């Protein structure tokens, strides 16, 4: 079939996918009409891979696996064109959606014989290069999306190594499930922290190896060195998970329907190892400090280093230490939606990664700032100056220091702040 006719069918399939509801019977009929031409090169790959790229599946996510099933059932051969048919689809899945549906579609392609290729191949167009690019979401504050692509990477690596890749999913898959058991992997059950935990969300084993790698991975459930530590968290066992979120790249939270939470905190240990510390939390641990209360210190991670001439300051999270208690301030919200501020008590132990302090002699919490009844900022008085912590539009927290009080609604991440002094602790 010539490219012009393939293009017409491509446009028709897109239009049927975008209908509400999608006309899958018409999509199947068009795919079946292609015959052997379903495997012809098209665009930068194949008809199916181009549909992944152009189909707006971030809005039509549930269709992604179904479209894949339709094409496979109509003769789409992932091994055709020297395996390009499969590799093109696996690569374009990275650009198709931001939902776990890409993992379901990838599983179908791998089951049909798609070959991801070698991770060591120095090919900028390889599937692993695409996934590596998507993992840069860790740097832009889109941590849930980064977690999705960590799961995709885990699936592809398992396939390349000849291991079982079925059932590997991102952490959001566990939302709506009940927490039924917690296993510690390796070490004594009573020892603080671990290299790995398994949170059983009904039938799903959520493997926690560090907060960047909260992945549903059935292979972890086969580890023989597991010990049940559910008794350490009796109030959480049986509770239904209502949300999974990141507070920053090294701190995640499972929130339950009753308002309680399970915190997953990554702390660097000896020899560059990271241990996971788990901590249960109630709704009262998300409360604001009292107005006009003194603050012992404001801390940030040691990762950000600001040049002396910088006037804009942005952090993933900020720690407030007051009265011997540590509260983590973070921005909360879905991808590409305006964020709000939230607080989480971490208890009395300051996380080791929070090793830089805002160098003020005197700090007190002044007030919480709201926009349309949502918490969007915190105001502190620091050495007679005014410090604002403000939720950025999509992720992160802006720090803004002023000589006098200002209208927080007029501050954004590009507003020029007074220099903010920092010191290592």
Average pLDDT over residues 337-359: 87
Average pLDDT over residues 178-206: 84
pLDDT the model gives residue 61? 60
pLDDT the model gives residue 29? 97
Report whether pLDDT(362) > 90. yes
Please report which helix (H) or strand (E) contains residue 371, including its range.
strand 363-371
pLDDT the model gives residue 272? 47
CB burial class (10 A; 0-12, 13-18, 19+) of residue 237? middle
144's tokens: 């849930």
Report whether pLDDT(5) > 50. yes
Report whether pLDDT(294) > 80. yes
Report whether pLDDT(273) > 70. no
Reported confidence tier of residue 139, pLDDT bands at 50, 70, 90: confident
Report whether pLDDT(266) > 90. no
Contact in structure between 346 and 415 (CB atoms under 8 Å) = no
Q: CA–CA separation, 23 vs 236, rounded Å?
A: 43
* Higher pLDDT among residues 142 and 49, named by residue: 49
Contact in structure between 403 and 385 (CB atoms under 8 Å) = yes
Average pLDDT over residues 302-313: 79
What Rg value do the Cα atoms of the chain yield, rounded?
A: 24
Q: Which residues of 397-416 are buried (b: 16+ CB within 10 A; e: fewer)?
A: bbbbbeeeeeebeebebeee
pLDDT digits (tens, 9 = 90+) for 39-89: 999 999 999 999 999 887 766 668 899 999 999 999 999 999 999 999 999
pLDDT the model gives residue 116? 93
pLDDT the model gives residue 271? 47
378's tokens: 């915190």
Report whether pLDDT(222) > 50. yes
pLDDT digits (tens, 9 = 90+) for 395-423: 789 999 999 999 988 887 778 899 999 99
Contact in structure between 30 and 24 (CB atoms under 8 Å) = no
**What percent of the chain shows pLDDT beyond 90?**
65
Report whether pLDDT(280) > 60. yes
Provide the 8-state DSSP code for 376.
Answer: E
Provide the 8-state DSSP code for 218.
Answer: T
Q: CA–CA separation, 31 vs 74, rounded Å?
A: 6
Average pLDDT over residues 225-241: 94
Provide the 8-state DSSP code for 146.
Answer: H
Report whether pLDDT(347) > 50. yes
């Amino acid at each position: 079939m010539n490219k012009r006719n393939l293009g017409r069918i491509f446009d028709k399939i897109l239009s049927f996918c975008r209908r509400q509801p999608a006309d899958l019977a018409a999509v199947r009929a068009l795919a079946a009409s292609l015959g052997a031409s379903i495997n012809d090169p098209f665009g930068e790959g194949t008809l199916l891979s181009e549909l992944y790229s152009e189909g707006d599946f971030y809005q039509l996510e549930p269709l992604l696996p179904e479209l894949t099933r339709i094409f496979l059932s109509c003769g789409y051969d992932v091994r055709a064109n020297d395996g390009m048919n499969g590799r093109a689809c696996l690569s374009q899945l990275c650009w198709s959606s931001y939902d776990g549906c890409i993992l379901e579609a990838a599983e179908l392609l791998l089951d049909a014989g798609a070959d991801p290729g070698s991770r060591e191949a120095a090919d900028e167009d390889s599937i692993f290069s695409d996934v590596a690019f998507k993992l840069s979401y860790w740097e832009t504050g889109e941590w849930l999306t980064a977690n999705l692509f960590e799961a995709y990477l885990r699936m592809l690596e398992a396939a390349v190594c000849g291991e079982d890749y079925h059932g590997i999913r991102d952490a959001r898959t566990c939302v709506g499930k009940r927490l039924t058991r917690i296993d510690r992997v390796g070490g004594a059950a009573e020892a603080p922290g671990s290299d790995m935990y398994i949170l059983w969300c009904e039938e799903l084993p959520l493997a926690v190896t560090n907060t960047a790698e909260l992945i549903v991975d059935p292979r972890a459930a086969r580890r023989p060195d597991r010990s049940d530590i559910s008794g350490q968290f009796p109030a959480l066992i049986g509770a239904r998970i209502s949300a999974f979120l990141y507070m920053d790249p090294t701190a995640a939270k499972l929130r339950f329907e009753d308002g309680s939470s399970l915190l997953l905190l990554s702390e660097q240990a000896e020899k560059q190892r990271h241990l996971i510390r788990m901590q249960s939390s109630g709704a009262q641990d998300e409360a604001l400090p009292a107005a006009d209360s003194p603050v012992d210190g404001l801390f940030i991670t040691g990762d950000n280093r600001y040049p002396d001439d910088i006037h804009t300051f942005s952090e993933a999270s900020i720690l407030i230490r007051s009265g011997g208690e540590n509260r983590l301030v973070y921005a909360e919200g879905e991808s590409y939606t305006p964020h709000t501020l939230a607080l989480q008590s971490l208890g009395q132990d300051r996380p080791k990664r929070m090793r830089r302090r805002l160098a003020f002699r005197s700090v007190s919490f002044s007030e919480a700032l709201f926009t349309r009844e949502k918490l969007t900022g915190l105001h502190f008085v620091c050495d007679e100056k005014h410090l604002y912590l403000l939720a950025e539009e999509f992720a992160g927290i802006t720090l803004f220091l002023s000589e006098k009080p200002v209208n927080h609604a007029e501050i954004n991440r590009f507003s020029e702040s007074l220099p903010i002094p920092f010191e290592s602790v």
